[in-house]
Structure 1
Amino acid sequence: MEQEAMLKEILKALELHSGHIHAEIQQMSSQLRAEMQEVGNQLRTEMREMVGKLEEKMDKRFNQLETKVDSLRIELSETQETVDFLSSKTLQHERKIRELYRQQ
């Protein structure tokens, strides 16, 4: 009987100890969840900041490209006007040369 009482006490002590361990594990689990949530929030914030900076950088680059394309468009237009002018002058000179050639 004495052994049975001792075994019951040991069993009760083990149950009590397992209850403490279970409570500690639950507390650690809660802390871990909270820390993971905090890390997740920090990552989201950092990613939003990175995306915002990247968007700003891309907008700046697109504006630069737009400016370059506009200046190239103007240059091309001016070049086309010059070509048109020179073509018309060339035709005028060719006509004059033909007329002079016919007069000879």
Structure 2
Amino acid sequence: MITVTDLARRCGISRATLLYYERQGLIAPKLRSANGYRWYGESELTRLQTIVAYRSYGLSVASINSLLNRQASTDQAKVLREHFELLETEISKLRE
């Protein structure tokens, strides 16, 4: 099991950012001990790595939440493709 601080370090984010993601419903601890400590497992580590990757692509927290809750990977690919198309359009406008 991994503590909140260790999980944040492994993903290269701050503890505060991880707790923000938890408040936004993107991630939840595997369990909480009697003293209130949060404990995370490997599945939460993988999920957080996905969240961090999506954020690095410029996706909003709301978009990430939507992506993570989708069942079909084709839907995820469609949303990401649309986002990248918007970014390309924005880059083209800035170049002009």
Normalising by the smaller structure, the TM-score range is under 0.3
Which structure would you say has the larger RCO, counting Cα contacts within 8 Å and 6 or more residues apart? 2
Higher helix proportion, which one? 1
Computing the radius of gyration from Cα coordinates, the structure with the larger value is: 1
Higher strand proportion, which one? 2
